[in-house]
Amino acid sequence: MEKNYRAELIGLFGDPVDANPTGVMMEVAFAHDGLNYRYITMKVLPQDLKTALDGAAAAGFLGMNFTMPHKIAVIPLLDELTQAASIIGAVNTAICRNGKWTGDNTDGKGFVCALRNAGTKLENAKVLILGAGGAARAIAVECALAGVSHITVVNRTQSRGQELVEIINSRTAARADFLPWTSGLAIPSDTDILIQGTSVGLFPDSDAVVDINYDTITADMTVGDVVFCPVESLFIRKAKNRGAKVIPGLTMLVEQGVFAYELWTGHKAPTLVMYDTLAKEFE
């Protein structure tokens, strides 16, 4: 058998990126599947993004991840977008085929997959999402595309929340409305899926928790969090204590990586291996 010393290259562009553990998860997955792939984490400043992307294409990179501050800025540098990325207005994953970059957003896909894996029905479900930032936006759009009937967007800044509502109403079949985030917010009893889409509770602020009335969470709800460190956030613990089915943020983080892995490699991702690897990183 002829030896091949050239690895397929996948990269991550961002700033800062020193504390981003995605590469560890991907490298372990590549090795598990016996794939000659390498994942390279790179600090790229905003003013260097176009040069870096052109260089990646010239060097034969197969795929990329983008983290802050590049998720929006990279869009005009790509050749095409998936439907979801176009609606969300942000890209975290791209693949290069025949010299052309296609951008996608796997954040929301990962959350929807985690919900389905937990046995939660999305079709005609009513969703309430706390926050309207990047992660919340991606999740809301993917939930709408997956068939939920109604999404309530709760945010402190009305303009940002209303913008997300208008995107859902104009570009998906779901209906959405805005609810101001008041202190001790009560979760409507007909909510099927409650999603905490802000960074509140993320390490090192692990004792922080969003301001809602936790007594209004019921056992009939599925409750998810985008916070992945600690592995079980205080928000998730409070929801679990109310008897709700819970989806921790680490599950979403892994599942969005699964989508990217399968897009780049064409192989089924070793999801459990990826989960265990990231869980150890956050111990």
Q: What is the pLDDT of residues 107-121, one digit of tens each?
A: 999 999 999 999 999
pLDDT below 70 — which residues of the chain?
Answer: 1
Which amino acid is it at 36? N
* Alpha carbon 76 to its chain's center: 21
* Amino acid 1: pLDDT: 66
Closest of 126, 249, 122 to residue 179, by C-alpha: 126
Fold of 108-247: Rossmann fold (3.40.50)
Instruction: Cite the residue boundaries of each domain of the chain with CATH code 3.40.50.10860.
Output: 8-105+253-281
- Cα separation, 43 vs 211, whole angstroms: 35
* Amino acid 133: pLDDT: 87
Which residues is 65 bridged to in the sheet?
12, 93
What are residue 53's phi and psi, to 5 degrees?
A: -70, -40
Closest of 150, 144, 141, 103 to residue 260, by C-alpha: 103
b or e along 163-181 (b: 16 or more beta carbons within 10 Å of the residue's beta carbon)?
bbbebbeeebebebebbeb
Please give the full DSSP string across 143-208, using - where no structure is assigned: HHHTT-SEEEEEESSHHHHHHHHHHHHHHSSSEEEEEE--TTEEPPTT-SEEEE-S-TT-TT-TT-
Instruction: Cite the residue boundaries of each domain of the chain with CATH code 3.40.50.720.
Output: 108-247
* Amino acid 282: pLDDT: 87
The CATH class of the 8-105+253-281 domain is: alpha beta
Q: What is the pLDDT of residues 32-72, one digit of tens each?
A: 999 999 999 999 999 999 999 999 999 999 999 999 899 99
pTM score over 0.85: yes
Residues with active-site annotation: 71
Radius of gyration of the chain (CA): 19
